[in-house]
Amino acid sequence: MSTFFKNGVDIGEEKLVRPADLVILGCKADVSEITLTITEGKFHQVKRMFEAVGKKGTVFEADFHGTIGAAGGSCTGSVPETDRGRACCVKE
């Protein structure tokens, strides 16, 4: 399955989503624990990526790294509010 993600996935948008790095951490019965590294974040993108390859994601945890363009700039460790009202941690 990681090949699908490395090549980009068709989630029904005009273009494929950017390539992502999928690492399977462990499997139990019909459930897998994975990490997925993406470089863009469209609306419900990760959920839609899994659905596109015939899988269902049930629990998602986000870990943001890098700079988020917030109005007026932001400092490392600050928590700016995003345009959808969700808070994200800024880490360098």
pLDDT of 20 above 80: yes
pLDDT of 85 above 70: no
What is the spatial distance between Cα 9 and Cα 62, in angstroms, rounded to a whole number?
Answer: 19
Q: What pLDDT, on the 0 to 100 scale, is given for residue 59?
A: 82
Q: What pLDDT, on the 0 to 100 scale, is given for residue 90?
A: 43
Q: How does pLDDT run across 27-72, given as a tens digit for each residue? A: 888 888 888 888 887 778 888 988 998 888 888 887 776 655 544 4
Residue written as token pair 């690492």: 23
Q: Where are the alpha helices (DSSP H) in the chain?
A: 2-6, 45-52
